[in-house]
Copies of this chain bind each other. A is one copy, B any other.
């Protein structure tokens, strides 16, 4: 082993053995592919099969499915947060705002697993949640800029972006590969409804806390969640 254990009773190793590291990366690559195709509902066994490793190897490296999910989607979440930063760099506030929605929605459409991640909260996956909050704060600035420019309706609320994610997840999930571009039309409709001036008042936004609770409740990888399942 590398550091820390010349003593027979030395502490746990900090880095993996070369073969283990290789397998770890194989697993992540496989999970990326499988989750993207099948959503977070994909089984650990199917990931192991795709990776060409035993089931035990998966669980040794990622003791729970949630940890695997966190490892797999770390970079997607980075890209998600980056998209906000890019949008904030756009000199045209409205163009940036629209571009951000389109980018985020496209990310959902391109990866069923990520669509699930965006509408689910993983309390134990700190890194993911940190990124999510980071993105959220950027979004608030993005919204304020677009309103200040007079292009975004005044009653637009940050939570509306969450609602779009949920709606888009519904479309992406329902259409899948059968109608892979249907989401574009839905998103375009949403964007037109956001543009100022508003055509009419809207019902109140849900409470911030309520939405958060909803995201906790809707864990597609948790059997306690009442979600679509089995039959014949």
CB contact under 8 A between A179 and B167, given known A174-B215, A185-B160: no
CB contact under 8 A between A186 and B163, given known A170-B170, A210-B178, A210-B179: yes
Q: Which of B175, B189, B203, B232 contacts A202 (CB 8 A)?
A: B189
Tell me whether A227 is interfacial, beta carbon within 8 Å.
yes
Which residues of chain B come closer than 8 Å to A37, judged between CB atoms?
Answer: 226
Chain B's nearest CB lies how many Å from the CB of A202? 5
Whether the Cβ atoms of B231 and A64 lie closer than 8 Å is yes
Counting every copy of the chain, the complex holds 2
Which residues of chain B come closer than 8 Å to A211, judged between CB atoms?
Answer: 175, 178-179, 182
Task: Give CA–CA (A170, B171) in the complex, Å.
Answer: 7
Q: Which of B182, B214, B230 contacts A174 (CB 8 A)?
A: B214
A-B contact pairs, 26 of them (CB 8 A): A38-B226, A42-B226, A43-B230, A65-B231, A65-B232, A119-B174, A163-B186, A166-B174, A167-B168, A173-B218, A174-B218, A175-B211, A179-B211, A179-B214, A182-B210, A185-B205, A188-B200, A188-B202, A189-B193, A190-B193, A192-B199, A193-B193, A220-B228, A220-B229, A221-B231, A227-B228
